[in-house]
Amino acid sequence: MTSSREVVRVSGLSVRFGQAVVVDSVSLSVSAGECLAIVGESGSGKTLTAKALLGLLPDGASVVVDELVIDGVDARRNSERDWRRIRGSRVGLVSQDALVSLDPLRRVGAEVAEVLEVHGAPGSGERMLRAAIVDAVTGLLGRVAVPEPAERARQYPHELSGGLRQRALIASALAGEPGILIADEPTTALDVTVQAQVLDLLSRLRADGLGIVVISHDLAVVAGIADRVAVMKDGRIVEEGATTEVLSNPQHPYTRMLLAAAPRLPEPSFPELVEGSVAGGFPSTGSGGGDGVAPVLRATGLGRDFRRADGGIRSAVDDVSFTVRAGAAIGVVGESGSGKTTLARLLLAFDEPDRGSVALEGHEWSGIPERRRRSRRGGIQYISQDPLGSFDPRYTVARIVAEGLRGDARGTSPGGRAERIRHLLDSVGLDASLEGRRPHELSGGQRQRVAIARALASEPRILVCDEPVSALDVSIQATIIDLLAGLRRDLGVALVFVSHDLAVVAQLCDEVLVMKEGRVVERGSTRDVFENPRHPFTRALVAAVPRMP
Amino acid sequence: MIFRRILARVAGMLVVVWGAATAAFLVLKLVPGDPVDVMLGVSAQASPELKQSIRAELGLDQPLLVQYVSYLSRLVRGDFGTSYQLRLPVTDVIGQQLGYTLQLAAASLALALVIALAGAVLVHGRAARGVFSVLELLAISSPPFWIGLVLLSVFAFGLGWFPVAGADGIQSLVLPAMTIALPVAGILGQVLRTGLEDAEEQPFATTARARGAGPARLVLRHTLRHAAIPALTLAGYIVGSLLGGAVIVESVFARPGLGRVALAAITNRDLPVVMGIIVFTAIVFVLVNLLVDLAYRAIDPRIAPPTTAIRGAR
């Protein structure tokens, strides 16, 4: 494989914005039929490195490079016009989330055809006739395994499923028959089962001789497809080598930290996962709980219907029942559209169920006027995926946390209040010096901690978390999960943890509900469900989770 | 489903026109002054008996509700009444003048579009864009009559390129149309430019550039359609500017047209003409809104009728 033609050769690539060096003497090479993964967390410079290979760096970036050969073309002194000749014909780009990376106002076919319209027929560069382009587009969509390609070409991106959209985006990047494909987080917005299919497609293309550079924050995702991995941190490649080598025998401490932080599913051979530890003391559903204490939260036969565009009815949540006892942690997993978020909204009484009911701390919670709920809202709190959107950008951290204080705590002396806020920040591992900061001055992990501190301010008995770590880097993810587990242990706060990420749920929850099309298809202790899934859907879900060798 | 939707839409449009007609009727009944005095002229020394008989002839002696009902029933039949001043059916008055104003409005709209598009698409570079935005701001914040006077004094009196007044061929249309077009172009240009800049930041624009698309293709095939969506929301404002501008410009440039008729009808208390123009304007707005809605759907498939969306949903 190494003997084949080199399609990318870069050495000494540095990118600077003013004084800040964001990419620092990066060198890499990719051969035809080879896949190189560049892995790093946000701000590591991986995306800028990828953009430099397309000449698409933002204005204000200054580039120094010793060698830059793209599919046989020396691109060091490329003008914008030279770059345009290369883009699409010699190097293709696939980005995250085809819903916004394909022009939403244009038909899928028009997007796939664009390269052919710009560059003409691959190879010859001759202008193509309308009919020839339509045929070529159908062929390309077929090649990336889009069913009914001619029909799909006439549809718009939002009319296709996430997986088909991403395939169409890949087809549009392949249209000019480039030697190298740059895939920037190509599966990040996708469900695990769809992610597996897209990764599969990429490996097939690689086997056909395409050189691929995959950019990802997730080592596990690239483990299955990359021949070599380059780990980036602060603009530098800190470690590079064959994938199996890097994963099994990491040299650099940062690589080791990344590997350790990545959440994993329990291996079947893993002994005594949670028994006797945090989760041991809490009975799972069905065991009744004879201690006479009312559960913190009880959902009975919950259902919520929405009217579809064609007038039909779709049950987003259908006949879901479960009980959360004090201090328990329940995971809700499923793919997008499975009803997880609707369920979370029902539990929080942001939305009223059409069927069934919710009880909070033994008293009715759904079906009563909001006026009667308001004084009890402090008992159940919400953590969202993106806390930035839930903060007033002009508030300081202290004021954001103070928002969460209950009426009585708000009324106490200013000194007592400040003391309480400091205590809350301390309990989520934030330094008191951050009090005066505003949301945009915080990192993603710090923001999520502030959101948790605000939620804790009202001393809730239960936190409903909707994908609380999905937007965070793996190393940060791990610390937030640790924090939630610690809060549960120390404060006895119960958790309902909604996530598409099975591995994260496996780490944190002792019980799990698997949702599909609004219904709970499987439930049980986390270990049972993930080690020995019974429902075919759970099995597919577990099988699709990328694993490191 | 679709049929019901269209029906609801038409009903909504009728309600708006009915509301405008009713408001016009009530407002004009509330203003003080006797229309019969106006009809006869200030100098006329008509006896009270004669006035009374005119009132009876026009139905002005009837109770308000009866007048309202007969007014509405005439409207439905397309009868807008007869002008007190011109002694012509209101429909004829509007019909005679409509052509001039349509000409003016169309020319203004075309000019505004050309200027706004040129400013948004062709002006590049920080400095040039800065200068252009100041010009736009100036155009937006200047009152139309003042723009008209400035254009007149420079291009008609000063340089003598265009006639000062009248409605005689293309030459005479340029300055009046420009007067209305400049403020419209200013605001339209700003919205278009912001829309284009927003669209250029979107991931799909990066994808298009990664396919080798040049700046011209990027604008024409991608970003301009995105920028057109916020620009379309201005349609109501623009139609208002065109009609309101016509009132001023037709006076400043002594052109015939609906605007002048409206102004004359209001000063002379020619109630049927005023009400006719109000109802006519309401109909124009309702139709423009319908067109804008259809245009949204044509540009943005995400708000297309549901039947097509479901076929693709998986």
Count CB atoms within 10 A of the CB of residue B160. 9
> Per the CB < 8 Å rule, is B1 touching A114?
no
Q: What is the C-alpha to C-alpha distance for residues A11 and B86, in angstroms, rounded to an integer? A: 86
Per-residue pLDDT band for A495 (boundaries 50, 70, 90) equals very high
User: Do A314 and A482 contact (CB within 8 A), yes or no?
Assistant: no
* A78 CA: distance to closest CA in chain B (Å): 13
> Per the CB < 8 Å rule, is A103 touching B300?
no
Hey, what are B298's tokens?
């044509």
* A434 CA: distance to closest CA in chain B (Å): 32
Indicate if the pLDDT at residue A234 is higher than 50: yes
Is residue B158 packed enough to be buried (19+ CB in 10 Å), middle (13-18) or exposed (0-12)? exposed
Global pTM value: 0.80
> pLDDT digit string (tens) for A122-144?
888 888 999 999 999 999 999 99
Q: What is the C-alpha to C-alpha distance for residues B90 and B66, in angstroms, rounded to an integer? A: 21
Per-residue pLDDT band for B41 (boundaries 50, 70, 90) equals low
Higher pLDDT, A412 or A180: A180
What is the average per-residue pLDDT within A478-482?
A: 89
Indicate if the pLDDT at residue B245 is higher than 80: yes
* B185 CA: distance to closest CA in chain A (Å): 25
Strand partners, A362: none
Indicate if the pLDDT at residue A288 is higher than 70: no
Q: Among residues of chain A, what percentage have pLDDT more than 90? A: 54
> Per the CB < 8 Å rule, is B312 touching A155?
yes
Indicate if the pLDDT at residue B57 is higher than 80: no
User: Do B2 and B307 contact (CB within 8 A), yes or no?
Assistant: yes
* pLDDT, averaged across chain A: 87
What is the average per-residue pLDDT within A225-229?
A: 93
What is the average per-residue pLDDT within B5-17?
A: 88
Per-residue pLDDT band for B7 (boundaries 50, 70, 90) equals confident
User: Do B217 and A113 contact (CB within 8 A), yes or no?
Assistant: no
User: Do B179 and B126 contact (CB within 8 A), yes or no?
Assistant: no
Q: What is the C-alpha to C-alpha distance for residues A467 and A499, in angstroms, rounded to an integer? A: 5
> Per the CB < 8 Å rule, is B211 touching A172?
yes
Nearest to A473 by CA among A254, A155, A223, A250: A254
Among A209-213, A296-300, A428-432, whose mean pLDDT is lowest? A428-432
> Per the CB < 8 Å rule, is B313 touching A159?
yes
> pLDDT digit string (tens) for B99-132?
899 999 999 999 999 999 998 888 877 788 888 8
CATH of domain B90-299: 1.10.3720.10
What is the average per-residue pLDDT within B167-196?
A: 88
The DSSP string of B88-134 is: SBHHHHHHHHHHHHHHHHHHHHHHHHHHHHIIIII--SHHHHHHHHH
Q: Which residues of A touch B (CB under 8 A)?
A: 54, 56, 84-89, 91-93, 95-97, 100-106, 111, 114-115, 118-119, 155-156, 158-161, 164, 169, 172-173, 175-176, 308-311
> Which range, A404-408, A467-471, A483-487, has the best average confidence (pLDDT)?
A483-487
> Per the CB < 8 Å rule, is A101 touching B206?
yes
What is the average per-residue pLDDT within A4-30?
A: 91
Residue ranges of alpha helices (H) inside A89-210 are 98-101, 108-119, 130-143, 149-153, 162-174, 192-207
Pairing of strands A511-516, A519-525: antiparallel
Helices B64-76 and B2-30, packing angle to 10 deg: 140
Nearest to A146 by CA among B8, B50, B73, B312: B312
Q: What is the C-alpha to C-alpha distance for residues A91 and A85, in angstroms, rounded to an integer? A: 10
Pairing of strands A228-233, A236-242: antiparallel
Indicate if the pLDDT at residue B314 is higher than 60: no
| Residue with tokens 């120390």, as numbered in its chain | A490
Indicate if the pLDDT at residue A270 is higher than 60: no
Chain A CB contacts of B308 below 8 Å: 159
> Per the CB < 8 Å rule, is B208 touching A103?
yes
Q: pLDDT at position A259, please?
A: 86
Burial B46-82 (b: 16+ CB within 10 A, else e): eeeeebeebeeebebeeeeeebbeebeeebeeeebbb
Q: pLDDT at position A3, please?
A: 53
Scanning every residue of chain B, which has its alpha carbon at the shortest distance from the alpha carbon of A177?
B211
Q: Mark which residues 179-208 of B lie under 8 Å from A by CB.
A: 202-204, 206-208
Q: pLDDT at position A282, please?
A: 41
User: Do A308 and A314 contact (CB within 8 A), yes or no?
Assistant: yes
> Per the CB < 8 Å rule, is B214 touching A84?
yes
* B207 CA: distance to closest CA in chain A (Å): 6
User: Do B223 and A111 contact (CB within 8 A), yes or no?
Assistant: no
Q: pLDDT at position A309, please?
A: 67
Backbone CA torsion sign across A304, A307, A313, A316: negative
Nearest to A100 among B204, B210, B300 (CB): B204
In the chain, the amino acid numbered A58 is P
Chain A CB contacts of B301 below 8 Å: 104-105, 156, 158-159
User: Do A168 and A146 contact (CB within 8 A), yes or no?
Assistant: yes
Higher pLDDT, B166 or B94: B94
Hey, what are B160's tokens?
């003598």
Nearest to A84 among B1, B212, B225 (CB): B212
User: Do A348 and A464 contact (CB within 8 A), yes or no?
Assistant: yes
What is the average per-residue pLDDT within A237-263?
A: 90
Higher pLDDT, A312 or B262: B262
Count CB atoms within 10 A of the CB of residue A6. 17
> pLDDT digit string (tens) for A102-111?
999 999 999 9
Q: What is the C-alpha to C-alpha distance for residues B84 and B55, in angstroms, rounded to an integer? A: 12
Chain A CB contacts of B310 below 8 Å: 308-310
Backbone CA torsion sign across B63, B66, B72, B74: negative
Q: pLDDT at position A279, please?
A: 37
Q: pLDDT at position A2, please?
A: 45
What ranges do the domains of chain B cover? Answer: 1-77, 90-299
* B97 CA: distance to closest CA in chain A (Å): 41
Per-residue pLDDT band for B221 (boundaries 50, 70, 90) equals very high
Chain A CB contacts of B314 below 8 Å: 160-161, 164
> Per the CB < 8 Å rule, is B208 touching A84?
no
The DSSP string of A367-417 is: SS-HHHHHTTGGGEEEE-S-GGGGS-TTS-HHHHHHHTS-HHHHHS-HHHH
Q: pLDDT at position B1, please?
A: 60
Indicate if the pLDDT at residue A275 is higher than 60: no
Chain B CB contacts of A92 below 8 Å: 210-211
> Per the CB < 8 Å rule, is B306 touching A119?
no
What is the average per-residue pLDDT within A194-204?
A: 91
> pLDDT digit string (tens) for B134-169?
888 888 898 888 888 888 889 888 888 888 777 777
Judge whether B314 is closer than 8 Å to chain A, CB to CB: yes
What is the average per-residue pLDDT within A149-163?
A: 90
Backbone CA torsion sign across B16, B22, B26, B29: positive
ipTM: 0.78
Mutate to test the interface with A, among B207, B221, B310 (most CBs of A within 10 A): B207
What is the average per-residue pLDDT within A390-394?
A: 89
* pLDDT, averaged across chain B: 84
Q: ∠ CA(B159), CA(B160), CA(B165), 5° rounding? A: 135
Indicate if the pLDDT at residue B280 is higher than 80: yes
Indicate if the pLDDT at residue B186 is higher than 60: yes
> Per the CB < 8 Å rule, is A156 touching B307?
no
The domains located in chain A, with CATH, are 295-388+453-544 (3.40.50.300)
> Per the CB < 8 Å rule, is A85 touching B204?
no
> Per the CB < 8 Å rule, is B212 touching A56?
no
Q: pLDDT at position A408, please?
A: 59
B162 φ/ψ sector (left φ>0, alpha ψ -120 to 50, else beta)? beta
